[in-house]
Amino acid sequence: MKSNWVIVRNSLRVTIVFLVVISYSSLCWAWKGKVVRVVDGDTIIVTHKNKKVRVRLYGIDTPESTQWYGQNAKQFISSQILGEEVAIEPMAIDRYGRIVALVFLGNVVVNELLVSHGYAWVYGRYCTKGFCSKWKRLERRARKKKKGLWKNPNVIPPWKYRHLN
């Protein structure tokens, strides 16, 4: 006959496993929503289940709104997805509670689009998936062609700009 402690311990294990599976699956499954606001070049607000959800684009960093080319990045992403239905593929939740995700407009990965058009850096510190090497090649190509923010040879990466300010 099992003691009460063994029953409680086993029940607790089952509960923890269940919560981990639920949490993990909620981050793995893509969902769709309408983009109702573009906060800046790499953060959007999407409606989902009648709620507004703040989404940070995974693996990239665009200039800050007060930084050179920051408004250009915001305008570009706005022209692409504001008012559109997008698919959100969550990758993580950041320290600010935002969903960090890949954002798809049809078959187009918006994160990648920003990099290839010269509106974003690949954020090497956080972009760790296999496709990040492709994004880095796209960034190098945009730099070489002086696309977007790469028109300025002295552009400051946003993570350094935030540190300075």
Q: Is 89 a catalytic residue?
A: no
Of 85, 98, 137, 143, the catalytic one is: 98
Given the residues 13, 54, 56, 112, the one annotated as active site: 56
Residue 64 bears catalytic tag = yes
* Sign of the four-CA dihedral 19, 127, 58, 65: positive
The Cα 79–Cα 103 span in angstroms is 15
Judge whether 141 counts as a catalytic residue: no
Buried b (16+ CB within 10 A) or exposed e, 115-141: bbbbbbbbbeebbeeeebeebeebbee
The one catalytic residue in 64, 84, 95, 143 is 64
Q: Which residues are catalytic?
A: 56, 64, 98
